[in-house]
Structure 1
Amino acid sequence: MTQQQSLVGSFVSHATGHPGDPALVWHGEETTYGELHRLAERERARIGRLAPDEDEPIGILAAKSPSTIALVLACLLEGRRFLLLPAPTPEGRTSHALVERAGIRHVLTPDSPRAPGPGAGDRPAEPGAEPGAARDTEPADISFMFTTSGSTGQPKIVPLSTGAVDRFTTWAGERFGIRRGTTVLNYAPLTFDLCLLDIWTTLKYGGRVVLVDPARATHPGHLLDLVSRHRVQLVQAVPMFYRLLVDAATGSGRRLDTVEHVVFTGDSMPARCLAELPHLFTGARLYNVYGCTETNDSFLHEVDGTEPADGPVPIGRPLPGVHAVIVDADGGIVTGPGTGELHVATPFQTAGYLDREQNADRFATHRHEGETRRYFRSGDLVRRDRDGRITLEGRNDHQVKVRGTRVNTHEVEQVLLAHPDVVEAAVLAVPDPVAGRLLRSVVRRAPDSRLNSLALRRHCAQRLPLTAVPSTLLITDDPLPRTSTGKIDRTPIERTCSPSQLQSQLSEPQPSEGTAT
């Protein structure tokens, strides 16, 4: 990898040299680099007046818009660390708890600052300021602070250094050929680390970002039209996005032939959806990218048609400068074929969570190939075959015992998704006084499908051990709940799969054959 360039310095250079170039597209309207730079400078002046203490972190309510992106740029210009906060729940509890843990006194929106506590008044933003140079920062200084999804517990705050961000954006820009005028789609929320590629790498290299409005992120026709109308060249998104595009294009004959790079990440790509992508993105190169919020992207696999048709897509090979080991249940490093937890060390990773007490069980030191390094424990189980190919098998917390037998719920979900009439699937292990744990599944079937639980149980029994066949199969025609990052939201599903809720559902007349067993 060549020497990294500064993200904010490169943005300022492009905004100064090519102010008329389009930087963002939002609701069909373009914001130029010059306009975005001026917005950022105005917000920079406001930050300086509101919070003059340079060590004080800033909170940003990250509703997607050009103004919010300008606010992030203002923090980068001012050399201030900032926490990107998701839209609050109706009670506002999640964001408020994060604000307190980060020691933040000021949470900003693009329009006006407000204190996180009650009773604070707003002050209007003042007119813009003349552009100035970015404040000098050290590579170790913190800039972005993301949060983990909280799917395995309380969300953790993940600080990233300026150097880590610059190294990542340099790699991403070079790897995917992002340059002046390259058009990139941003599907992920601003709080998601995928934006380091979608938005921040693109703005670093003078490209154009087409922002997807979260309010229309599940509208297939809108997404297809957005990619086509703006002649997008690079797309990165979770598998759900690609399934929506495939559904929208089916039968229409539409092709997205301007796209050069298709990147899927964040979840397992269903084999049936993957098979459709070369027909939709004619001529595009397809990639599976693996990474965690704590490490950023770590592995890359370019799909070349040699992947097993009925198995998971390999996660590929480590990125330049990335080191990884597979650790077995006894803590030993797997040197040949085998299964274990993936531990990763990257040039782009955090030095640790903001709350240092959370580091203890998430980082480990290993000596491997003559070097001692600090690795992040991903919690992901992977398998390496005799050819050295690594595939994702699930998570440590997806390993459960059912009637004394170890079962991987991720593997059960993949078997359910292999049925041609299954669109979405979630499998959970729920406590049972006799068996210890039992598997419950919720499945969304394809439109107009007559799939019932008997047929689905037969499908599972032919492919899984008896103990891995879910005891309960709920079939629905409605989409499964999703988090803001596009992953299946298991919290409401857990409530659906509770024994009392299941008993209530099973005692009611079912609307169609085999809706529940």
Structure 2
Amino acid sequence: MPSPRLAEAVAVHGHLRPHDPALVFNDRTITYGELSDLTQAFRHSLLELRLPPGSTVCVPAYKTPETIALLLAVFHEGLVALAPAPDLGAAALARLSQQARATHVLTGSAIDALTADPVHTDEKEAAGFASADAGGSCLLLTTSGSTGTPKIVPSAAAGFEAFAAWATHEFALTSSDVALSYAPLNFDLALLDIWSFLQVGAQVVLVDQGRATDGPYVQALVAKHDVTFIQGVPMLYRLLVEDGSPNPAVRQVIFTGDSVPDSLLAPVSAAFPRARFHNVFGCTETNDSFIHEVDPATPTPRMPIGRPIAGTDALIRDPDGAIVRSAGAGELLVATPFQTDGYLNTALNAETFTVIDGRTFYRTGDLVTRDESGLYSLQGRADWQVKVRGVRTNLQEVERVIAAHPDVVEAVVVPLPDEQAGVRLHAHVSRRPSSALTGLRLRTHAGKNLPRHAIPTSVHVTDTPLPRTSTGKPDRNLIKSNRLKEIHP
């Protein structure tokens, strides 16, 4: 995912409809003709690099028209693109590129110039990692990256074709549609609201990631460009309903990433009076796997994730490992037509993917219930993961990165409720004696090795040991409770 066919489709749109808008970014509108020309310019630059056929290159996923054109050029040339978060720390980006055996880190500028920085080969870092198959995968996605180095997820071109076909049919997408693309470019959400829209020749309005929390800015984009399709986490919809103005042009509203609170449904329904509302559920490894049409007039205590989409199988496994065949609860396993064949780090696959009745299922780590009618609802996580701004984040791995600082004795990271982000992270850190370590220095350290969403919002640094439970483990509940009391005395 995506695929050479996508790149060819965009080129055809550029030839047949050169003046139709393809991308909008701040004050710029890039037509399909201009996008095709920019892609062609990057193709020439790639040829000058004389890369071996099927090579992997790293393209940090800056959300700009230039990055999109550069990725299209990579797909055209039969190369594999590793597209990590652009705010990943330098050390983590280097490790990720080495693990994927990328030859260069590529960035594109507004003047058609390609910057290509060679990647230092490190076979020790790449040990245990498979080489990407250029014949099957054009894009290497990464997991949310709560660790210093996210897991690399090869995505099959055939999987994107199947997903784009499903999404186009499910949401009745046409070249007349206009998508608001809110999530970062490296998220799997972009497979729908950028790549699938470009494949059908529709228009994509890119939200500047530096202004993603600016409500009036996002509202103006929707109104000015007659957006018809919106996909995003609850925080996006909180921003969009701030002024209370209805927008009848929007016909599809997609909730994703987090559970939508009941209090948000009524204002969203009023803001988009002609829209259909869906809750979709999935992850990087499988893409969307569940869908549920939401009726804002009849809110439920917990919004269901719905039913498996066409071609998807879902199973529930109880704590004893037995498959739950009827109504019940347990860990969710899914198999979709769009999923990866496995991580590039092959050692991770045995514990994450399992074959049942001849089909490979992904162990999501999500705890769900299924009622008598076959409707699924999400209950929580089976592990240490929480979602920050809709992004799955592993608390234990964030702790590992913070604890790697030489002045840290021990660290605990706890999730705190946040009205905007859903969850924000707080770190409680015990520092070494005589250390001058501060919370600011720790956040700077974290920023070099973690993506932005995984950096703790607040840090408490102390010279005293962490509080303990009766079994000697750090008392996370007490740390969380004390922090909440500080915030809300």
Alpha-carbon distance, 1:52 to partner: 2.5
- SS of 2:63's equivalent in the other structure is coil
Tell me what 2:64 maps to: 65
For 2:336 and 2:382, locate their aligned partners in 1 and report how far apart those are by CA, in whole Å. Answer: 21
Q: Is the 8 A contact 2:92 2:149 kept in 1?
A: no
Q: Which of 387, 408, 414 matches 2:373?
A: 387
Note closer, same or farther for the CA distance 1:339–1:205 as it changes in structure 2 (3 Å cut): same
Alpha-carbon distance, 1:398 to partner: 4.6
Q: Is the 8 A contact 1:340 1:382 kept in 2?
A: yes
Tell me what 1:146 maps to: 141
Tell me what 1:39 maps to: 38
Tell me what 2:78 maps to: 79
Alpha-carbon distance, 1:61 to partner: 1.9
- SS of 2:67's equivalent in the other structure is helix
State yes or no: 1:290 paired with 2:292. no
User: How far does the alpha carbon of each residue in 1:158-213 deviate from its partner, in whole angstroms, 9 at most, with x for none?
Assistant: 11111111111111122112212211111111111111111111110010000100
Q: Which of 97, 106, 109 matches 1:108?
A: 106
- SS of 1:224's equivalent in the other structure is helix
Note closer, same or farther for the CA distance 1:149–1:440 as it changes in structure 2 (3 Å cut): closer
For 2:304 and 2:463, locate their aligned partners in 1 and report how far apart those are by CA, in whole Å. Answer: 36
Alpha-carbon distance, 1:152 to partner: 6.8
Letter aligned with residue 280 of structure 2: V
Q: Is the 8 A contact 1:61 1:108 kept in 2?
A: yes
User: Aligned runs of 1:9-20 on 2, under 5 Å?
Assistant: 9-20=8-19
Note closer, same or farther for the CA distance 1:96–1:305 as it changes in structure 2 (3 Å cut): same
- SS of 2:266's equivalent in the other structure is helix
Note closer, same or farther for the CA distance 1:279–1:501 as it changes in structure 2 (3 Å cut): farther
Letter aligned with residue 322 of structure 1: T
For 1:377 and 1:497, locate their aligned partners in 2 and report how far apart those are by CA, in whole Å. Answer: 36
Alpha-carbon distance, 1:117 to partner: 4.7
Q: Is the 8 A contact 1:365 1:373 kept in 2?
A: yes
Q: Which of 289, 309, 328 matches 1:338?
A: 328
- SS of 2:103's equivalent in the other structure is coil
Q: Which of 87, 91, 94 matches 1:93?
A: 91
Tell me what 2:201 maps to: 206
State yes or no: 1:172 paired with 2:171. no
For 2:4 and 2:276, locate their aligned partners in 1 and report how far apart those are by CA, in whole Å. Answer: 26
- SS of 1:105's equivalent in the other structure is strand
Alpha-carbon distance, 1:116 to partner: 4.5
User: Aligned runs of 1:209-288 on 2, under 5 Å?
Assistant: 209-246=204-241, 248-250=242-244, 254-288=245-279
User: How far does the alpha carbon of each residue in 1:116-164 deviate from its partner, in whole angstroms, 9 at most, with x for none?
Assistant: 458xxxxxxxxxxxxxxxxxxx995211111001237841001111111
Alpha-carbon distance, 1:274 to partner: 2.3
Say which one has the larger Rg: 1
Letter aligned with residue 257 of structure 2: G
For 1:501 and 1:14, locate their aligned partners in 2 and report how far apart those are by CA, in whole Å. Answer: 63
Letter aligned with residue 342 of structure 1: L
For 2:310 and 2:119, locate their aligned partners in 1 and report how far apart those are by CA, in whole Å. Answer: 44
Identity of aligned residues (%): 40
Note closer, same or farther for the CA distance 1:62–1:341 as it changes in structure 2 (3 Å cut): same
- SS of 1:172's equivalent in the other structure is helix
Give the count of matched residue pairs: 413
State yes or no: 1:515 paired with 2:448. no
Note closer, same or farther for the CA distance 1:153–1:318 as it changes in structure 2 (3 Å cut): farther
For 2:71 and 2:20, locate their aligned partners in 1 and report how far apart those are by CA, in whole Å. Answer: 20
- SS of 1:360's equivalent in the other structure is helix
- SS of 1:204's equivalent in the other structure is helix
For 1:153 and 1:93, locate their aligned partners in 2 and report how far apart those are by CA, in whole Å. Answer: 8
Q: Is the 8 A contact 2:96 2:149 kept in 1?
A: no
Letter aligned with residue 40 of structure 1: T
User: Aligned runs of 1:309-458 on 2, under 5 Å?
Assistant: 309=300, 311-367=301-357, 372-398=358-384, 442-444=416-418
Note closer, same or farther for the CA distance 1:440–1:101 as it changes in structure 2 (3 Å cut): closer
Note closer, same or farther for the CA distance 1:5–1:48 as it changes in structure 2 (3 Å cut): closer
Alpha-carbon distance, 1:306 to partner: 7.5
For 1:445 and 1:290, locate their aligned partners in 2 and report how far apart those are by CA, in whole Å. Answer: 21
Note closer, same or farther for the CA distance 1:298–1:242 as it changes in structure 2 (3 Å cut): same
Q: Is the 8 A contact 2:180 2:206 kept in 1?
A: yes
For 2:181 and 2:347, locate their aligned partners in 1 and report how far apart those are by CA, in whole Å. Answer: 34
Q: Is the 8 A contact 2:289 2:336 kept in 1?
A: yes
Alpha-carbon distance, 1:115 to partner: 1.9
Which TM-score applies when normalising by structure 2? Answer: 0.77
State yes or no: 1:50 paired with 2:49. yes
Q: Is the 8 A contact 2:80 2:134 kept in 1?
A: no
Alpha-carbon distance, 1:22 to partner: 0.8
For 1:296 and 1:255, locate their aligned partners in 2 and report how far apart those are by CA, in whole Å. Answer: 31
For 2:213 and 2:462, locate their aligned partners in 1 and report how far apart those are by CA, in whole Å. Answer: 28
Alpha-carbon distance, 1:84 to partner: 0.6
> Any stretches of 5+ residues in structure 2 without a counterpart?
121-132, 400-411, 421-446, 468-477
Alpha-carbon distance, 1:515 to partner: 3.0
Q: Is the 8 A contact 1:88 1:95 kept in 2?
A: no
Note closer, same or farther for the CA distance 1:48–1:395 as it changes in structure 2 (3 Å cut): same
Query: Greater relative contact order: 1 or 2 (C-alpha under 8 angstroms, separation 6 or more)?
Result: 2
- SS of 2:179's equivalent in the other structure is strand
Alpha-carbon distance, 1:257 to partner: 1.2
Which TM-score applies when normalising by structure 1? Answer: 0.73
- SS of 1:397's equivalent in the other structure is coil
Alpha-carbon distance, 1:304 to partner: 2.3
Letter aligned with residue 392 of structure 1: L
- SS of 2:82's equivalent in the other structure is strand
For 2:486 and 2:261, locate their aligned partners in 1 and report how far apart those are by CA, in whole Å. Answer: 24
Tell me what 1:403 maps to: none
Q: Is the 8 A contact 1:440 1:497 kept in 2?
A: no
RMSD: 3.5
Letter aligned with residue 442 of structure 1: L
Q: Is the 8 A contact 1:106 1:113 kept in 2?
A: no
Alpha-carbon distance, 1:276 to partner: 2.0
User: How far does the alpha carbon of each residue in 1:407-464 deviate from its partner, in whole angstroms, 9 at most, with x for none?
Assistant: xx89xx9xxxxxxxxxxxx998999xxxxxx996634579xxxxxxxxxxxxxxxxxx
Letter aligned with residue 106 of structure 1: H
For 1:142 and 1:427, locate their aligned partners in 2 and report how far apart those are by CA, in whole Å. Answer: 27
Tell me what 2:409 maps to: none
